[in-house]
Amino acid sequence: MKINGTAYRTIWLSDDGWSVEIIDQTKLPHELVTARLATMEDAAVAIRTMQVRGAPLIGATAAYGVCLALREDATDEAMDAAIAHLAEQRPTAVNLRWALEEMRKAIRNLPREERVAAAYRQAARLCDEDVETCRMIGIQGLRLIEEIAAKKEPGEPVNVLTHCNAGWIACVDWGTATSPIYQAHDKGIAMHVWVDETRPRNQGASLTAYELGAHGVPHTIVVDNAGGHLMQHGKVDVVIVGTDRVAASGDVANKIGTYLKALAAKDNDIPFYVALPHSTIDWRIDDGFKIPIEERSSDEVLKISGRLPNGSVVTVEIAAPGSGAGNPAFDVTPARLVTGLITERGICPASAEGLINLYPDRV
């Protein structure tokens, strides 16, 4: 997608042909800066500190992390150690482990001297595949938006509510939840997006609003608690969110607060869709409550960062001194609250049957 007229991906190979460039998301929306990853540990740190985040993008970054590890040591032991280390950087998004296993499959049977080149080819393939998969999610989701638009007065916008950032910045390009929105906007359908700010890290306010704005999609940031009110007043036509892991049962783990949006949508008869690539399905887990939920630092709740009028970015405390804070980063929305799953292969019910009908091959 474009920022100031320039097309970007979130991750790409540097001109040197081996190190990796990323958009440093910890600096957005105040600054668009890139960071260079030159070692496997650079990739691990980028994932852990959320310079890169979003389920598909942490998988892509980990894939390049394996390439960087193999450049230094292409033995089985080094490869296994790198994969294990990268996998433990974030626990909830299954794309991380999926991408690492795809890397292992592509490399493990090759002689040592062929491994580095094969790893780079595989990492590039995973990135290209993510772009195409997300583009297809958009095409599948577009028809839902077209159906809603057809019932509106000409020019009246379709109001989508989304949570966190499941945009192109969370993937390699296009995004999952945002892909249908971009496709509809690019087709000339009037769109308006309610962007939950997504406390505590505010990925909605700082990333989703940033990327929608950069692409020219009308949007409004709202506090997380506003969603139910907007739904009660007919201001939301459809909710579309992303996900970090979908159990084989159709239960959905996504950014904390997603469950409450699903409850409010159900109570107000508003369709609640989850957009995902196949790499987000965890076929080994048959119950969403078995998905590990990341517990993050209490500092993210107790402090907030922002830009001062002089341009400097500062972090300030917002709570009474001495108070502790809990910070579960994800929650689980039971399948019964999900209207449908928008995948690159089509839209299916959030159920074991719905998923297996679309993915009989369990990719």
Site for ligand MRU in 81-140 (CB under 6 A): 93
Percent composition of the chain: helix, strand, coil (DSSP 3-state, to 5): 45, 20, 35
Least distance to ligand MRU, CB of residue 25, Å = 8
Member of 99, 246, 329, 347 binding ligand MRU (CB under 6 A)? 329
Cα(283)–Cα(264) distance, rounded to whole angstroms? Answer: 28
CB atoms within 10 A of CB 112: 14
Q: Does 343 bind ligand MRU (CB under 6 A)?
A: no
Q: Does 60 bind ligand MRU (CB under 6 A)?
A: no
- Token readout for 43 is 């990739």
Q: Does 255 bind ligand MRU (CB under 6 A)?
A: yes
- Token readout for 90 is 């974030």
Cα(35)–Cα(130) distance, rounded to whole angstroms? Answer: 21
Residue 316's SS3 state is strand
Select from 227, 176, 163, 200 the least CA-distant residue to 329. 200
- The answer to whether 242 and 286 are in contact (CB under 8 A) is no
Indicate which residue of 24, 173, 196, 244 is catalytic.
244
Is 251 annotated in the active site?
no
Least distance to ligand MRU, CB of residue 338, Å = 14
Cα(138)–Cα(327) distance, rounded to whole angstroms? Answer: 32
Q: Which stretch binds ligand MRU (CB under 6 A): 5-13, 65-73, 169-177, 332-340?
A: 169-177
Least distance to ligand MRU, CB of residue 185, Å = 18
Q: Does 254 bind ligand MRU (CB under 6 A)?
A: yes
Q: Largest Cα–Cα distance of the chain, in whole Å?
A: 63
Q: Which amino acid is at 261?
A: K
Name the closest residue to ligand MRU (Cβ): 242
Member of 8, 44, 53, 355 binding ligand MRU (CB under 6 A)? 53
Least distance to ligand MRU, CB of residue 40, Å = 20
| Residues with catalytic roles | 244
The site for ligand MRU (CB under 6 A) is made up of 53-56, 93, 164-166, 170-171, 176, 203, 242-244, 254-255, 329
